[in-house]
Amino acid sequence: MKEFILASASPRRKDLLDSIGARFRIIPAEVTEEEDGDHDPEWMVWHNAELKAAWVAERHPESFVLGADTTVYIDNRVLNKPRDLEEARGMLTILSGRTHIVYTGFSLHRKCDKLIETRGVRSSVSFKPLDDTTIDRYFGVVNVLDKAGAYGIQEGTDIIIESFEGSHSNIMGLPIDETKELLSRHKLI
């Protein structure tokens, strides 16, 4: 099994890759991500995943590099990471009692042989109705500022989430079954 580079500082992506026994090191990409809600969300996460992987691959041309990006989509707009708790409260209020889509794009690059493979996965999540007290309770359990849509499915789930369809790990930030298949084909796990 060869080592690869994860072009992300996300603790959730690290944990998910650890769970499948992957050997990797972390080098976060220093890029400005596309976060414009006017773009198609699927295109946006694919673009950002490729941008991150390409930035690291340029600096490590012999290495396989995995980049990923996740966003929440509702009402024809993207909800990325909130800037502060006020914006996080606004996002959770928008999601309250409704169903939204979570998109993740992931991209494997290796500059020396011009490898670029990009894929995407979507899942849907339905929220319980949330009032200010419930949102405050959720803020007490979860660091919402480092999560697209101001929530994580892996913690405080019973407080806010009614149900979901699709990949649970995609909602966390990396669809692990699809990622494992891609890494396996390149003998990286």
| Nearest partner of 160 among 150, 170, 145, 174, judged by Cα | 150
Output the CA torsion sign for 168, 171, 174, 179. positive
- CA–CA dist 84, 43 (Å, integer): 26
| Nearest partner of 125 among 89, 152, 88, 86, judged by Cα | 152
| Nearest partner of 152 among 74, 75, 82, judged by Cα | 82
- CA–CA dist 118, 105 (Å, integer): 7
Geometric angle at alpha carbon 167, from 165 and 173, rounded to 5°:
120
Let me know if 69 is a catalytic residue. yes
Catalytic residue selected from 18, 40, 69, 131: 69
Known catalytic residues are 69
